[in-house]
Structure 1
Amino acid sequence: MRALTVKVPNGKGGEVKKEAEKLDGKNLSVEQLNSGELVRVHLNNNTVDEFIRNINHIDEAEITLVPRGIIALYPPQDEAPDQVSDVTYRSPFEVFMGGLQSVGSKFGLMGYAVSGGILVWIGFYTNTVFLLVAAMLVSPFAGPAMNAALAAAAGKGQLLLQSLGRYALAIGLSILITFVLSFLIGQKHATTLMVDVSHISQMALLLPLVAGFAGGINLVQSERDSLVPGAAVGVLVAASLAPPTGLVGMAMHFGNWQMVQSGVFLLVLQLAGIQLSAALVFRYIGKVTIKGARFADGKKYIYWVSMGLSVLALGVLLYWQFYKQPNLQKGSLATSITETIQNTLKEYKDIETIEVSSRFTRGTLPNLNPVICEMYLYNRSDSLTDEQVKQLLKYELFKRIKAENWNADPMFDIIMLDYVGEKDKP
């Protein structure tokens, strides 16, 4: 439940109390003040918005909403377990106003963006994964992304532009700080962790859609209805945004434009995906629309234009990703190539597979996308030497990979082992 206090002119307190009673309000009271009347109301989450709308005609009303759950007990006592189990969604009014409260100052936004950028740069430069996680905790990208989705659902064009501006400011500062740090240190080449992040999977679209859904549902749910803290959801949103900012800034410095392309692709994809899924959650689960109390001046076309642009952006990005391999698909293609190699090796009964791996290189060679395929094999054949097996496999694997229409250039490293263990010795 939610606790509200409403201060109204003398004579209006009874009217407010009656409106609360119609919505099954509990523990209601009217207190006489020197300058009016103070009404205390306790309502279920899903009736708060309707209550505020019903008293909206009282222009002098001063409403205070406590944005946290309370436990209201009332007779009969044997119904107490049911009385405290209100885990309905937050009211649209609370969801929208709570989102506005999270806007914060520009100074704080800029400070956290710079701090997150420094952590991303150190993590990339030193190949330290946990520093990337720390950057996800610090980076202030979740707030502007969620506010943009809220603004779209409510049809608030000015708030939408403001949120997108804050998003661009945070992203731009993170990119700038990583560029400057790479310039000062004289970085000339990409690190292994940068290469890994730049290799995008074919399923990259799922991350922003899930992040937007999780962020939206976290703001809509009652706090006692969620086992996932808001900070964890914020990390999920930032996880899709913080690493690409560092990738773009650092790669721009030493001119690796394939990495810059990957980073820009990820940043735009994340924003469009988060905007689409989060706005749908706010609109159809949180019921945040232009008809909500105290924000009914939103424009309906803002929502539809925002959704249309998000879908269009996602369509363009997916076409860009899939129309040509492998630049924006290296993450999943490396896995697919490994699977192809393993399936091919199964056809050779005298060859036992110990370990197989495939990975794309940094992609700095012009018009060439080398993928290194490493195989540790045990040759049990009496008719073929190790060298003959190597040549046979290289030819067959090259043919199989090319048959799958991958625009990759396999470079095989086949290691034949004399024995695998004591029991396997000839």
Structure 2
Amino acid sequence: MRQLIIKIPKGHKDKVLDTVSEFEGKNTIDLSSEKEDVFLVFLSNNKVNDFLKKLDAFEQPEISLIPRGVITLYPPANEAPEQVADVKPKSSMEIYLGGIQSVGSIFGLVGYSIAAGIIVWIGLYTTTVYLLVAAMLVAPFAGPAMNAALATASGKMPLLKSSLMRYGLAITSGIATSFILSAIFPLETLTPLMVEVSHVSRVALFLPIISGFAGAINICQSERDSLVSGAAVGILVAASLAPPVGLVGAGIYIMDWEVVFSSIFRIVLQLLGIHLAATLVFYFYGKVTPTGVRFLKGSKKVAITTSSIVILGIGAMIFWQFSKPPFLRKASMNTELTERMDNELKNLNYIRIINKNVTFTNTKINDKPTVNFQATVLPKDTLISDEALKNAIINHLKENVNYQNENIHKVYQINVVRE
């Protein structure tokens, strides 16, 4: 429930009370005076917007909306638990205005972006994973992401331009910070964590879709109806963006263009995926549409055009990703090739598998990406030499571990251990 304080010129009291009854207002208080009528009204969250639209028929109503949950209790007393449990999503007006109000200062945006850039660079440089999580806490990407989606859903081009500008500013600040740190503390080669972060999975689109969905749901739901904090959802959004943003700066410094392009691909894909998912939630669940918010006159053309561009952009990037293996699918190909190697090793009845792993490197041999097949095995036959066993295993893997696209250079590292 939401509490509203309404002040209108004298003479509309009965009509206002009838309107309150129409929208099932509870515990209404009339504080009318000689010059004006004042009402304290308690309405279900999702009815606030339409109620205020109807009030526009009266002469210049003055309205105060308290954006906090209110528990209203009314007869019969034995229905109080059901009354409290009936929690509704926020009104479309509150969702929209809340997004606008959440826009912080440019100084704060740039400051947090620089802080996140420093933290993520240190994490990548020192291969400290928890620092990447810390950077996600600080990175200010969730605000512009949700506001851009709100702008598309409502068809407001000025808000969309402002959000995209803030997006660009935040990302550019993070990239510049990473580049400067790479120059101050000369970075000559990629760390193992940088290589790992640079690899893109074929399911890379799922993370931004989920992030955008969760972020928009968190904004639409009443604070008493959310099981997840806004900070946690913000981390989920930043998880898609903070590491690759930091990696772009480091990649530019050492001129590793494969890392730069894969990170930029990931950033753009994340932005488009978050935008699409959040826009759909705001439009269909939050009812934020070009004509669905009081006093807001959005453009359906802007909403349709922007959404079409985002969908086409996602389609083009997915087509590029799957038409250029293994460049943009190394992370998932690691898993696929590991499974294939495991299956083939299990066919060799003269060894026991201790450990196995397949990893792409950023080194090219014969102008092909290099993939390293590693395995540790225990021989069942103690009479066979280590060298003969290694050669037998390698020859078997060369003959049987094939992939749909052979544009890769395979190297093998087989370790033999004995009891």
Same-fold call, TM cutoff 0.5: yes
Work out the CA distance in 2 between the residues paired with 1:264 and 1:79. 55
Q: 2:364·2:370 contact (CA, 8 Å) conserved in 1? A: no
Where do 5+ consecutive residues of structure 1 fail to align?
420-426
Work out the CA distance in 2 between the residues paired with 1:16 and 1:238. 45
- Identify the residue that residue 282 of structure 2 maps to in structure 1: 282
Q: 1:73·1:80 contact (CA, 8 Å) conserved in 2? A: yes
Q: 1:13·1:39 contact (CA, 8 Å) conserved in 2? A: no
Q: Which moved more, 1:140-149 or 1:392-401?
A: 392-401
Q: Give the superposition deviation at 1:112.
A: 0.9
- Identify the residue that residue 185 of structure 2 maps to in structure 1: 185
- Identify the residue that residue 19 of structure 1 maps to in structure 2: 19
- Identify the residue that residue 361 of structure 1 maps to in structure 2: 361
Q: Give the superposition deviation at 1:384.
A: 4.6
3-state DSSP of counterpart to 2:310: helix
Structure 1 residue runs of 4+, over 6 Å off? none
Q: 1:154·1:295 contact (CA, 8 Å) conserved in 2? A: no
Work out the CA distance in 2 between the residues paired with 1:38 and 1:292. 26
3-state DSSP of counterpart to 1:172: helix
Work out the CA distance in 2 between the residues paired with 1:273 and 1:59. 44
Work out the CA distance in 2 between the residues paired with 1:402 and 1:334. 13
Q: Give the superposition deviation at 1:166.
A: 0.7
The root-mean-square deviation of aligned C-alpha atoms, in Å, is 1.6
- Identify the residue that residue 242 of structure 2 maps to in structure 1: 242
What TM-score do you get using the length of structure 2 for normalisation? 0.96
What TM-score do you get using the length of structure 1 for normalisation? 0.95
Q: Give the superposition deviation at 1:355.
A: 0.5
Amino acid at match of 1:311: I
- Identify the residue that residue 131 of structure 2 maps to in structure 1: 131
- Identify the residue that residue 51 of structure 1 maps to in structure 2: 51
Amino acid at match of 2:208: P
Q: 2:149·2:279 contact (CA, 8 Å) conserved in 1? A: yes
Question: Aligned pair 1:64/2:64, yes or no?
Answer: yes
Q: 2:10·2:34 contact (CA, 8 Å) conserved in 1? A: no
Q: Give the superposition deviation at 1:326.
A: 0.9
Q: 2:215·2:278 contact (CA, 8 Å) conserved in 1? A: yes
Q: Which moved more, 1:134-143 or 1:359-368?
A: 359-368
- Identify the residue that residue 219 of structure 1 maps to in structure 2: 219
Q: Which moved more, 1:353-362 or 1:30-39?
A: 30-39
Work out the CA distance in 2 between the residues paired with 1:208 and 1:86. 31
Work out the CA distance in 2 between the residues paired with 1:103 and 1:364. 45
- Identify the residue that residue 159 of structure 1 maps to in structure 2: 159
Q: 1:272·1:310 contact (CA, 8 Å) conserved in 2? A: yes
- Identify the residue that residue 396 of structure 2 maps to in structure 1: 396
Q: Give the superposition deviation at 1:301.
A: 1.4
Q: Which moved more, 1:40-49 or 1:58-67?
A: 58-67
Q: Give the superposition deviation at 1:218.
A: 0.8
Change over 3 Å in CA distance of 1:155–1:15 after alignment to 2: same
Where do 5+ consecutive residues of structure 2 fail to align?
none
- What are the within-5 Å matches in structure 2 for residues 65-84 of structure 1? 65-84=65-84
Q: 2:151·2:157 contact (CA, 8 Å) conserved in 1? A: yes
Q: Give the superposition deviation at 1:126.
A: 1.2
Superposed CA offset, 1:173-232 (max 9, x none)? 111111111111121111111111001111101000000000111111122222100110
- Identify the residue that residue 298 of structure 1 maps to in structure 2: 298
Q: Give the superposition deviation at 1:295.
A: 4.3
Change over 3 Å in CA distance of 1:283–1:363 after alignment to 2: farther
Q: Give the superposition deviation at 1:414.
A: 0.6
Q: 1:3·1:66 contact (CA, 8 Å) conserved in 2? A: yes
Superposed CA offset, 1:218-267 (max 9, x none)? 11112222210011000000000111110001110110111101110011
Superposed CA offset, 1:7-31 (max 9, x none)? 2122234432321111110111121
Work out the CA distance in 2 between the residues paired with 1:196 and 1:265. 15
Question: Aligned pair 1:106/2:106, yes or no?
Answer: yes
Amino acid at match of 2:373: C
- What are the within-5 Å matches in structure 2 for residues 330-369 of structure 1? 330-363=330-363, 367-369=367-369
Work out the CA distance in 2 between the residues paired with 1:363 and 1:67. 55
Change over 3 Å in CA distance of 1:35–1:137 after alignment to 2: farther
Q: Give the superposition deviation at 1:383.
A: 7.3
Superposed CA offset, 1:305-359 (max 9, x none)? 1111111111111122111211111111111111111000111112111110111
3-state DSSP of counterpart to 2:372: strand
Q: 1:258·1:363 contact (CA, 8 Å) conserved in 2? A: no
**How many equivalent pairs are there?**
419
Amino acid at match of 2:158: Q
What's the % identity of the aligned pairs? 45
Q: 2:344·2:401 contact (CA, 8 Å) conserved in 1? A: no
3-state DSSP of counterpart to 1:224: coil
- Identify the residue that residue 423 of structure 1 maps to in structure 2: none
3-state DSSP of counterpart to 1:223: coil
3-state DSSP of counterpart to 1:332: helix
Change over 3 Å in CA distance of 1:406–1:229 after alignment to 2: farther
- Identify the residue that residue 381 of structure 1 maps to in structure 2: 381
Change over 3 Å in CA distance of 1:163–1:375 after alignment to 2: same
Q: Give the superposition deviation at 1:121.
A: 1.1
Work out the CA distance in 2 between the residues paired with 1:412 and 1:365. 14
Superposed CA offset, 1:89-136 (max 9, x none)? 111111111111111211111111111111111111111111111110
Q: Give the superposition deviation at 1:86.
A: 2.2
